[in-house]
Structure 1
Amino acid sequence: MTNLDKLNKILRDVFNIKDNSYEKDELGPDEIEDWDSLAHVELVNNLEEIFGVSINVVDISRMYTIGDIKNILKKYGVII
């Protein structure tokens, strides 16, 4: 399983996404109904656990879209 596959699975599971909308980098909490503050915490926990990184608070607060999540992971050496 590639890192992109792992990320997509996390997004589907955390945000309860049933279609392929997680593939659109511009989507964020305004477009994904289940993306609330609790889901955001669960997202970060999953990202840190699956990818073996520790994401700092500033980066966590800058996860506005799926594209932002990918870019932040890249910053921590996760190749997407």
Structure 2
Amino acid sequence: MTNLEKLNTVICDTLGIKKVENIKDEMGPDEIEDWDSLAHVELVNGLEEKFKISLDVVDISRMYTIGDIKKILKKYGVEI
């Protein structure tokens, strides 16, 4: 499984997205109905578990879109 597939799995499972094809980098809480504060915590937890990383609080607070998540993961050595 590639890192992109892992990321998409976490996003789909956490944010209730049915089809991977529907995931776009510019999507955030305004576009994804299920992306609320609790889902954000679950998303962070899922990312940390899936990629075996520990995200910094500042990075967690800067996850405004799917694209932001990819950039932050890259910072932790996860190539998407």
TM range (shorter): over 0.9
Count of equivalent residues: 79
Deviation at 1:47, TM superposition (A): 0.4
Instruction: Kindly state the Cα deviation for residue 77 of structure 1 after the two structures are TM-superposed.
Output: 0.3
| One-letter amino acid matched to 1:69 | I
Q: TM-score, normalised by structure 1?
A: 0.96
How does 1:1-80 map onto structure 2 within 5 Å?
A: 1-19=1-19, 20-22=21-23, 24-80=24-80
Q: Which runs of 5+ in 1 are unaligned?
A: none
Moved over 3 A (4+): none
- For residues 63 and 22 of structure 2, what CA distance do their matches in structure 1 show? 17
Q: CA RMSD in A?
A: 0.6
Q: Secondary structure at the match of 1:63?
A: coil
Measured against aligned partners, the alpha-carbon deviations of 1:9-43 in whole angstroms (never above 9, x if no partner) come to 11000000013221x10000000000000000000
